Amino acid sequence: MADLSDWIPYDERSYEPLGPKDKLHIKKIAKYSANNYSPYPFVVDRAEGFWLYNMDGHRAVDLLSAYSAVLKHRHEGIIEAVENELRYGSDLVSRALCSRAFAEFAEMICTVTKYDRVLPKSDGGSITDSAVGALFMHGHKKGIKEPEVILTTDYFHGRALTFGANAFFDEDQYYGKLGKVNGIKVVDHTAEAIKNAINKNTVGIFIETHKGEGGPLFTKKEDFLAIKKVVKDNNLFFGCDEIQTGLGRCGYLMAWQEFGEEAKPDFVTLGKALGGGVIPVSALLGTEEFMSIYRPGLDGSTHGGYPPACAAGCASLKYILEEGICEKSLELGQYFTKQLNEIEGVNAENRGLLIRLEIEGVKSAKPACYELLLGKNRDPRVFMKYGHKNYARIAPPPGAIVKETIDWVVEKTLKPVLMYAKEGPEQAPLIQKN
Ligand SMILES: Cc1ncc(COP(=O)(O)O)c(C=O)c1O
């Protein structure tokens, strides 16, 4: 019989950093950093495989490597490729000259993705800027005075949209506010809503194939194809943000490939895993027709095409293919999701190893996520990210975890925490006072 005297509901618990060194570093960040994030109080000192180590000797299983890599933390092959470029190649920072490394990267990424041309940048926000900016340039070229681009609700395309700065942020509603910006229309993620929004000024549609930060929320094949049809019937450009979903995460090199060749967008953006977690690399890939929008001087950045970043990009692509990351994501994603759905009070849905976990009966998944990482004596500690509503996102590194890791994490930590995450101590034998 459970000892209910030990029960403290999750949302009444308070969580401290796990030791004095973490505490000290958190203080430094609080003192010197802009207050633009509210991180978990866990200070990563070192990362390896699927592990994150803090300053005080604790470690946590990283179930959110989507922020960096699909392979594993500090992949030796990628580090070696970057090191070789730095030691024996060039650190040229400019595309005012050509470089061997950029030539190799451009050829490789176009060959692998079957797009005609690439524009390189460093982060996801600025490559989004390039993609949407290209649509506006296309509109102006066609003589449209006030071109419009359509996005869909619950999107997240980063925070560097120069055409609207941060106007899309809103304290009350985090996502879907870019509608305030001139030329950007935000409508429901349906073919019908897009069709109704198209007018003579519309130049293109840009969506996440599956929405990462907003859920994740997954797009069904028929809905995706219906959206593409509306866009093409109106002779517009169709682009997909694959920064989070791409490069094997959802079981395909680009998540749209799940829907077949007819789904192919005119352009896609890639980021995150493209640098293997070692160097920030992003890319806009497009058909000849879409990429012909560009003329010298219309876009570019100092670090876009930086040789060590190109080396990281080539190595990431090579290892993603060699290590069968797409296949691993499909298999492990299905396995993990099935295990999660066996936990009482939890619903899980996935595309490969991008998993949405919904905890029934709670307002937010935040308290459960804090308990997983910082709860008293949790072993193993687990890092995953609470999101919208009562959702959490699980996206471990497919190149590092195996079925045994999943079994272990589910049995030892996820099950005991998630089963009792909803308020009420009715049956909480495994919950300890923090
Ligand atoms: C779908 C998507 N697009 C764009 C971005 C922005 O990327 P970055 O943070 O590298 O600017 C993100 C980041 O989470 C993302 O998930």
**Nearest atom, ligand 1, residue 280 CA:** 10
Integer Cα distance of 237 and 232 in angstroms: 7
Integer Cα distance of 132 and 134 in angstroms: 5
pTM: 0.94
Ligand 1 centre to CA of 280 (Å) is 12
Q: How far is CA 402 from CA 204, 253, 329, 372, in A?
A: 41, 20, 10, 20
Chunked into runs of 10 residues, the chain (434 residues) has average pLDDT values of 62 89 97 93 96 97 82 96 97 90 98 98 93 94 94 82 42 46 87 98 97 91 98 98 96 98 98 95 98 94 95 98 98 98 95 96 92 93 93 95 97 90 57 51
**What is the tens place of the pLDDT at every residue in 204-246?**
999 999 999 888 999 999 999 999 999 999 999 999 999 999 9
Integer Cα distance of 138 and 372 in angstroms: 48
For the beta sheet containing 381-383, the strands, ordered from the edge strand earlier in sequence to the opposite edge, are 44-48, 51-54, 59-62, 381-383
Q: Which domains does the chain have, with CATH numbers?
A: 4-71+325-418 (3.90.1150.10), 76-322 (3.40.640.10)
Which pLDDT belongs to residue 180? Answer: 54
Which pLDDT belongs to residue 128? Answer: 92
- Sole residue written with tokens 């079981």: 251
Integer Cα distance of 133 and 118 in angstroms: 15
- Strand 148-152 and strand 202-208: pairing? parallel
Residue to probe by mutation, ligand 1, list 156, 175, 219, 247, most atoms within 8 Å of CB: 156
Ligand 1 centre to CA of 423 (Å) is 33
Residue 150: CB atoms within 10 Å: 22
Integer Cα distance of 199 and 147 in angstroms: 10
Which pLDDT belongs to residue 172? Answer: 42
Integer Cα distance of 182 and 133 in angstroms: 13
Ligand 1 centre to CA of 404 (Å) is 30
Strands (E), 27-123: 44-48, 51-54, 59-62, 117-121
Which pLDDT belongs to residue 164? Answer: 44
The answer, yes or no, to whether any atom of ligand 1 lies below 6 A from the CB of 208, is: yes
Question: Which DSSP symbol is given to 355?
Answer: E
Integer Cα distance of 382 and 301 in angstroms: 37
Residue to probe by mutation, ligand 1, list 157, 242, 281, 388, most atoms within 8 Å of CB: 157
The answer, yes or no, to whether any atom of ligand 1 lies below 6 A from the CB of 244, is: yes
Retrieve residue 158's tokens: 């980063």
Residue 84: CB atoms within 10 Å: 13
| Nearest CA among 242, 249, 178 for reference residue 397 | 249
| Nearest CA among 235, 261, 274, 237 for reference residue 118 | 274
Q: How far is CA 412 from CA 362, 408, 430, in A?
A: 22, 6, 10
Which pLDDT belongs to residue 6? Answer: 64
CB-based contacts of 229: which residues, under 8 Å, 6+ apart?
Answer: 191
| Helical (H) or strand (E) element with 364 | none
Integer Cα distance of 253 and 269 in angstroms: 12
Integer Cα distance of 309 and 105 in angstroms: 9
Ligand 1 centre to CA of 213 (Å) is 9
